[in-house]
A and B are shown apart, each in its own frame.
Chain A
């Protein structure tokens, strides 16, 4: 009995961490290149809606994932244009982009499905239930290769640490940031696709429910270190799994309210900021 509960908890931890793992990898590319990223929430929502819509019409999960990433990267171009070309503040534009995604999706949904609520449910075959893990593995491996093993990755990090050094070797930091932000939106869009096609079987309004910010919290908690932040995401995913378990267990939920478990990622991040000696945000992060 106990074993099965632990097993169930571990499995659902893995499942619920999925979108966070994508979003934190996306956030990593943006923040590491020196651009503060609070629009992860927008990319998740856009990705989730796009994946649900395209999968519904084409009956192909692969097209769903791909379209989610591409449309999210496309929306990311608004962010790039305003922040990099027109020198607007990334926090202001990030907030704006979140509002934009929250407002636009219901209207598009109304036009396509004649409802501002959930999209029609998808029937994804059982055999594809491991697909998100495969996509995650490929994404993570590519992300590691890109950021650790390539020249591009080094230059991307220099854009975030010391712009001048990059300029002095004839590489435009803005160009690296632009590319990095596009990668960021692309990967986070995949996380959105997982949200609507794997964690549930349709898009429902505001279904990202703060996961973009939880991913950002994980990144900061881990001191902008990708492997560590992935572990932190697993921990935050565990908290979410625990909360769902508690909700179905009436005796325990009288002792610990669900809201307090929801708070854990945020409180933990504040505690980490408070207790650890020094965080190392990228020097040019703004």
Chain B
């Protein structure tokens, strides 16, 4: 079997074992913790639905990291983009009031989705702007943008859009007619859990990207640029085009997380709704080795673990839901390390 293909999975297993072993030091049984982590996602239909909701968000954030990666860019700005686009969707959902006609509602929904995705794309292309014209490092700009966008969203929520009926910092619910996903068949089937039809949008995006990457000219250009920017430039591939395209598309995927939350789950913007999906996407993408179809599997796996970790609060004495972050971190570490260990062995043989 190809060592390169199995290396992340060995890393994952090692990371899982290490994390569960760690729980021993907190006075918990590692076997018990492992059992909770790996089985709690199908305790009930609702739990499975919740896991599929996390899967949806993690697919999008995995794509938002993996796509620029193909062009050789480290995109860690997803968190800010998803926050500002969720706020945009929530604001538009309260500001637009369609007539009682199906066509009017449909057009309004289209406008909300289009504008939200546009905001996502624009906020991500700021990074490309700095990269192209100032040769600034994309990671630095992304970090700054994350903080600026989060502060903007907090300011707008607290000072302009605060729901008058709530004590928590959140916007009002979007219009009744935009809450049509409340009765969506997935939600009904999974006993009203947060999952929605956006799951299929996420799956479709993966398949579409896989096709574009392997079957179209632009896909080949992005890959060529990622492998050797200078050679690609000599072949007449415009770096400007590649940078703006890959980053703004990544912004679109970040914006989809905002839509999944606002149109498909809570129907409002809550400060701090994201358990840092933007950063969890890094683990998802690493595990799948930036393979767009593989991201579906790794997102589901990470979603199961995330769901499992959030049940540790109730099921154990000392472990809390914070363990999800420890788990993700250790998986990032061990997967990143396994790349080196396996490739080194292969180079020798």
Contacts and interface: CB of A to CB of B under 8 A. Distances in A.
Interface of A: 36, 38, 78, 82, 86-89, 91-93, 95-100, 102-108, 110-111, 116, 210, 213, 216-217, 220, 257, 259-260, 262-263, 266-267, 269-270, 273-274, 279, 281
Contacts of A263: 147-148, 151-152
Contacts of A93: 332-333, 336
Given A92-B282, A95-B76, A102-B322, 10 more contacts: A88-B333, A88-B337, A88-B339, A92-B74, A95-B279, A96-B282, A98-B279, A263-B147, A270-B148, A273-B130
A106 B26 CA distance: 12
A86 B337 contact: yes
B340 A88 contact: yes
Nearest to B327: A103
A106 B333 contact: no
Contacts of B328: 96, 99, 103
A103 B327 CA distance: 8
Given A220-B140, A257-B155, A96 B76 contact: no
A44 to B, nearest CB: 15
Given A99-B328, A111-B26, A270 B144 contact: yes
B214 interface: no
Question: Ordered nearest first, which 7 A-B pairs have the shortest CB separation?
Answer: A103-B325, A100-B329, A88-B336, A259-B155, A96-B332, A103-B326, A99-B329
Contacts of B320: 106-107, 110, 116
B313 to A, nearest CB: 9
A267 B147 CA distance: 9
A89 B319 contact: no
B326 A279 contact: no
Contacts of A220: 140
Contacts of A281: 137
Main secondary structure of the interface of A (DSSP, over half): helix
B141 A92 contact: no
A92 B319 CA distance: 25
Interface string B316-349: 0011101111111110110011011100000000
B205 interface: no
B203 interface: no
A99 B76 CA distance: 13
A274 B134 CA distance: 7
B154 A210 contact: no
29 contacts: A36-B139, A38-B139, A88-B336, A88-B340, A89-B74, A91-B139, A92-B286, A92-B336, A95-B279, A96-B329, A97-B329, A99-B276, A99-B328, A102-B322, A107-B320, A107-B323, A107-B326, A110-B320, A111-B27, A213-B147, A257-B159, A262-B151, A266-B145, A266-B147, A266-B148, A269-B140, A270-B141, A273-B140, A274-B134
Nearest to A269: B144
Contact of A100 (B318, B326, B336): B326
B143 interface: yes
Most B C-beta atoms less than 10 A away, residue of A82, A93, A107, A217: A107
Interface string B290-332: 0000000000000000000000000000111011111111101
Contact of B318 (A88, A104, A107, A270): A107
Contacts of B283: 96
Contacts of B340: 86-88
Nearest to B283: A96
A274 B133 CA distance: 9
B114 to A, nearest CB: 27
A45 B326 CA distance: 14
A281 B332 CA distance: 27
B106 interface: no
Nearest to A114: B318
B42 to A, nearest CB: 24
B141 A106 contact: no
A56 B135 CA distance: 47
Nearest to B137: A281
Contact of B322 (A38, A82, A116, A257): A116
Contact of A89 (B152, B158, B336): B336
A270 B148 CA distance: 10
B117 to A, nearest CB: 24
Given A111-B27, A270-B130, A99 B74 contact: no
Nearest to A273: B136
Interface string B135-171: 0110111011101100110110011000000000000
Contacts of A216: 140, 143
A286 to B, nearest CB: 9
B141 to A, nearest CB: 7
Contact of B333 (A96, A98, A267): A96
Interface string B65-89: 0000000001010000000000000
A98 B264 CA distance: 30
A281 B284 CA distance: 30
Nearest to B279: A95
A259 B83 CA distance: 15
B4 to A, nearest CB: 15
Nearest to A254: B159
B337 A38 contact: no
Nearest to A216: B143
Most A C-beta atoms less than 10 A away, residue of B141, B333, B341: B333
A95 B332 contact: yes
Contacts of B27: 111
A278 B10 CA distance: 44
A248 B137 CA distance: 38
Given A102-B322, A107-B318, A257-B159, A267 B332 contact: no
A133 to B, nearest CB: 28
A86 to B, nearest CB: 4
